Amino acid sequence: MSKKIEISLDEINEYSRALHCPTRWRIIRLLADGNKPTKEIRNHLGEGCHSTGKQNLYYHLSELSSAGIIEMANYREEGGGAPEKVWELAVEQITVDLLKGELKDDCDN
């Protein structure tokens, strides 16, 4: 499966919104090394100044997933609790076609 996509100008806002945060870039870099469960991502982000709480992490994962940049690969059963989500990169490369689509101008409203 190729992990490359091409987006148009009308799609660029969705991706730029998902990619604006350094924490999300750290998540992407982590997943570049392979699939990771939520707990492992949280533990890695807990190092240094990029520490993030559980709810905040779920928000970042949700934003990246909604944009189609990451996806849930499977669940991992551990103990008697709820299964843990395992995440993977859905896209490794995003190309913007500057000549395709329409750029919405907020000034036109």
Q: Tell me the CATH number at 61.
A: 1.10.10.10
- How many domains does the structure of the chain reveal? 1
91, 5 Cβ separation under 8 angstroms: yes
Whether 108 is in a domain gets the answer no
Residue 55, domain member (yes or no): yes
- What does each C-alpha distance from 75 to 9, 17, 23, 27, 34 come to in angstroms? 35, 27, 23, 18, 15
Answer yes or no: is 89 within a domain: yes
Residue 103 in domain = no
Show the domain range for 39.
Answer: 4-98
Query: Taking the chain, what is the end-to-end CA distance rounded to the nearest angstrom?
Result: 41
Say whether pTM exceeds 0.75. Answer: yes
Confidence tier at 31 by pLDDT (50, 70, 90):
very high
pLDDT at residue 69 greater than cutoff 60? yes
- List Cβ neighbours of 58 (8 Å cut-off, separation of 6 or more): 38
105 domain residue, yes or no? no
109 inside domain: no
pLDDT at 2: 52
Residue 57's H or E segment, with its range, is helix 54-66
Q: pLDDT at position 81, please?
A: 79
Kindly state whether residue 30 falls inside one of the protein's structural domains. Answer: yes
